[in-house]
Structure 1
Amino acid sequence: MIPPKPAARTGKASVRRFVRDFRSDILSAQSARLYRAWMAEFRGPFIHSFTCNDPKLVDLILRRRPMDFPKSPRMAAGLTPLLGNSSFISNGETWRHQRRIIDPAFERGRLRQSFAAMLAASDAGAARLLALADGQDIDIEPQTSHLAADVIFRTLFSIPIQDRIAAQVFAAFRDHQDSQPMVNAGGLLTLPRWLHFHSRRTKRSAARIRDLIGQLVAARQERISSGDAPPDLATKIMTTPDPETGETFTRAEMIDEVATFFLAGHETAASALAWALFLLAEHPEWQDRILAEGTARDFADMRNLNAARAVFREALRLYPPVAMTVRECAHAETLRDRPAPKGAQLVISPFHLHRHERLWDNPDGFDPDRWDSENGKTCQRKAFIPFSSGPRVCPGAGFAMIEGPLLLSAIIAACRIAPGDSRPVPVMRLTLRGKDGIRLRLTSRSG
């Protein structure tokens, strides 16, 4: 059975029709030809963009000359109330300074130190799902969101999601996502920055999240000063100086980055995990393969979770949490013999690249074994970018590839998973989600 994907637009669209369809769903507004095209240009009032699917173009933009193609300020404008000028949206020397401080926290040795906290969240999440495993139809997305948030809080601040402030941040973040589902519209439609606006609800929820995070950061600063701070990710990031300037993050900068970790580490993980569980529900033979591997109780055990890792990677291919991102031409360029003026928006769509018919064997099919094939290995190098690529690759990519297989193996060990009453339809919000949720049925393996 082919996993669901949005119904793509066929035929030529006017600017008015594109904008109308776009407001309904970004992905289904895109042309079906993008699953075969190497590049597509779209022009209109306030709109001049290039969708880049050619692996050579992706390599140019993300790896070879990333500073010539900075993050789009138009897209960043939609995230500024929450993220400030964090490393997720900043450019130039500001971004370099931020990454020099952040990157050491996600080195492999540090990830080993975070494993115990990740495992505790995994055990708590599996127990929570087991309590819901009565065979009834449920939306799994709120559950994976809760689990991913627990992982973030335990690894970042050494507190579980049940902590008072952690729970409030989690609730406020859900409200923030609901308040601005079209956060990516500015970049993809090339709207001038002065046309961006934020609703009072968006501003209010963002301010609430930042205030709560500020309380966590202030409390951690006090513990660092008193010498009894736990050796978690927050302590590491807050005490690491920029090796070039000697400066550490200010409190405001740390709030920006924690908000980013929550967006990039919680929302993306929750999306990927929910889609992975849906795919396993439709392919119970892969549940059996994951179950046969056992679970990981220490960091070294992670090397044994080959099936769980392959399934999670395939979920990231079919349903990349960040389905589209936008860069901008800092200078006039020529892309595949077409002129691209300064300021042109370059849309890189992992959703289309990961399903490109001229690159992948069986592009729309669920096949975790593909990663052992020659085609899969080639495409993993050239056309698989769930965490972006190049200097701006997500610093938490390694974290995610431990977290995802660990959580999958723990959940499958506790529960059997079957499809719910309806198949989900993917839509692009802050991350790739089910239009009406992702419905599954869980039953206990011990019952």
Structure 2
Amino acid sequence: MIPPKPAARPDRVSPWRYLRLFRQDILSAQPARLYRAWMAEFRTPFFRSYLVNHPALVDLVLKERPDDFPKSARVSEGLRPLLGESVFLTNGATWKRQRRIIDPAFDGGRLRETFPAMWDAGEAAAARLAARAGDTVEIEAETSHAAADVIFRTLFSIPIEDRIATRVFREFRAYQRSQPILNAAAFLRLPRWAPRGHRGGTRRAARAIRALLAELTAGRMQAIAAGEAPDDLATKIMTTCDPETGETFTEAEMVDQVAIFFLAGHETSASALAWALYLMAAFPDWQDKVAEEARAHLAPDFACVSRLRVARDVFRETLRLYPPVPMMVREATRPEHFRGRDVAPGAQIVLSPWHQHRHTRLWDDPDGFDPARWETEEGRASARVAYMPFSAGSRVCTGAGFAMMEGVLLLSRLLRDVRVELADRPPPVPVAHLTVRARDGIWLRVRRRD
């Protein structure tokens, strides 16, 4: 069985047809040749873009000269109502200052400290799913609930049942449904004062989420001042000083950062875990291996994570086939020459984990599900040059280690108690919204394990 992927469009379509397809779903808008091409040029009436798959070019943009290829403002426009000036959208000196403050909260030692909260969230998620035994369940809703619970427990030491956490989760679901990948401002160079073309529902949901996050942030600031704050991620980030300036985040800056922690930490993890559970239903032999390993090694002890090797390889393979962030866009700031083509300043440089992870020149059996590849030298060699679910270089996701621990732990904990099976429905079709989700959800039957 080959896991599903979206059908590619014909190689040649009109620019307007391409833009319409792109706004609906960036994955099915791309031609099939991108799974074997090293580079492709796309022309629109508004800008020129280059999708690069060649490992040397990807390294140039992400690792060797990242300052020459900042985050594209065109893509940032669609997310700014929610994320403001968060570390996900900024560039240059502002971004570097933000990373100097944020990064210490996610180093190895801090991951150990977040484990108990993550374990508790996993226990709650397992109980909820076990209670649905015998039902056919839309699994993305369950993984979204679990991932949001992890974020609230690790960031603010509150479960998702908390009043504010519940409201944030509800509003974020509304934001997901209303937020397109790109809006008008992504195509047109609008002046700062011009309307950005955001949908009314998007603006309303973003305002509601930010107001609730501001309430949480203000309360934590007061607790820190009173010496009564729990030692969680929010406290760590709010009290960390920039080693160069001695400054900490202001309350307003912290709201921006909390917004991206929730978006990145919840939405991406929910996407990856849902696809992992689908793949386990599709490949029951691997599911049994994960469950057997969980019964042998899973424990409320940070050290157990390193022993969950099968679950780790399954989750890695899930991230290869269904990277939550399928494409990243940078912007050239000076003239470049890529593979015999002149690239002008302002051109959009598209880096696509989706296509690199399934590239026919870079992987053996690129569309197949094979967690065993991660234990072979050939698979590890492919991963070194063509695996970037968390980006790479200086802008690699600061929470990559956190996300891997969460995915492995939750997958193991859920499958220890329940078995998931394919439902009598068509296979899910991946589409790119905020992350790679299934067009009509992922429906699985849930049964208790003996």
**Short-chain TM bin:** over 0.9
One-letter amino acid of the counterpart of residue 349, structure 1: S
Residues 1:219 and 2:191 aligned together: no
Deviations 1:207-260 (A, max 9, x none): 110000001001101110111111000000000000001000001110000000
Structure 1 position 349, deviation (Å): 0.9
CA pair 193-76 structure 1, distance change in 2 beyond 3 A: farther
Aligned to 1:142: 141
CA contact (8 A) 1:172 1:209 kept: yes
Question: Aligned partners of 1:6 and 1:303: how far apart in 2?
Answer: 34
Aligned to 2:76: 76
Structure 1 position 9, deviation (Å): 1.3
Question: Aligned partners of 1:196 and 1:18: how far apart in 2?
Answer: 21
- Secondary structure of the equivalent of 2:287? helix
Q: How many corresponding residue pairs? A: 443
CA pair 426-185 structure 1, distance change in 2 beyond 3 A: farther
Question: Aligned partners of 1:129 and 1:52: how far apart in 2?
Answer: 41
Which of the residues 300, 303, 315 maps onto 2:303? 300
CA contact (8 A) 1:267 1:431 kept: yes
Aligned to 1:28: 28
Structure 1 position 184, deviation (Å): 7.4
Aligned to 1:406: 409
Residues 1:207 and 2:207 aligned together: yes
Aligned to 2:282: 282
Question: Aligned partners of 1:183 and 1:9: how far apart in 2?
Answer: 19
Aligned to 2:180: 181
Structure 1 position 137, deviation (Å): 2.0
Aligned to 2:348: 345
Aligned to 1:45: 45
Aligned to 2:429: 425
Deviations 1:133-185 (A, max 9, x none): 11x32210011000000000000000000000000000111111111133478
Structure 1 position 55, deviation (Å): 0.7
- Stretches of structure 2 that go unaligned for 5 or more consecutive residues are none
Aligned to 2:159: 160
Aligned to 2:189: 192
Structure 1 position 430, deviation (Å): 0.3
Question: Aligned partners of 2:162 and 2:127: how far apart in 1?
Answer: 18
One-letter amino acid of the counterpart of residue 131, structure 1: A
Question: Aligned partners of 1:148 and 1:193: how far apart in 2?
Answer: 36
Residues 1:362 and 2:365 aligned together: yes
- Secondary structure of the equivalent of 1:70? coil
Question: Aligned partners of 2:38 and 2:185: how far apart in 1?
Answer: 23
- Stretches of structure 1 that go unaligned for 5 or more consecutive residues are none
Question: Aligned partners of 1:193 and 1:89: how far apart in 2?
Answer: 18
- Secondary structure of the equivalent of 2:4? coil
**What is the alpha-carbon root mean square deviation over aligned residues?**
1.2
Normalising by the residue count of structure 1, what TM-score does the alignment of the two structures yield?
0.97
Aligned to 2:335: 332
Aligned to 1:372: 375
One-letter amino acid of the counterpart of residue 389, structure 1: A
CA contact (8 A) 2:282 2:421 kept: yes
Question: Aligned partners of 1:289 and 1:97: how far apart in 2?
Answer: 44
Question: Aligned partners of 1:349 and 1:296: how far apart in 2?
Answer: 37
Normalising by the residue count of structure 2, what TM-score does the alignment of the two structures yield?
0.97
Question: Aligned partners of 1:293 and 1:186: how far apart in 2?
Answer: 49
CA contact (8 A) 1:176 1:206 kept: yes
CA contact (8 A) 2:185 2:197 kept: no
Residues 1:97 and 2:97 aligned together: yes
Deviations 1:95-133 (A, max 9, x none): 000000000000000000000000000000000000111
Question: Aligned partners of 1:236 and 1:24: how far apart in 2?
Answer: 39
Matches within 5 A, 1:49-60: 49-60=49-60
Structure 1 position 337, deviation (Å): 1.7
CA contact (8 A) 2:23 2:182 kept: no
Aligned to 2:313: 310
Structure 1 position 330, deviation (Å): 1.1
Deviations 1:16-73 (A, max 9, x none): 2212322332111101000000000011300310001111111000111001000001
Structure 1 position 74, deviation (Å): 0.8
CA contact (8 A) 1:184 1:430 kept: no
Aligned to 2:124: 124
- Secondary structure of the equivalent of 1:78? helix
Which of the residues 394, 397, 408 maps onto 2:397? 394
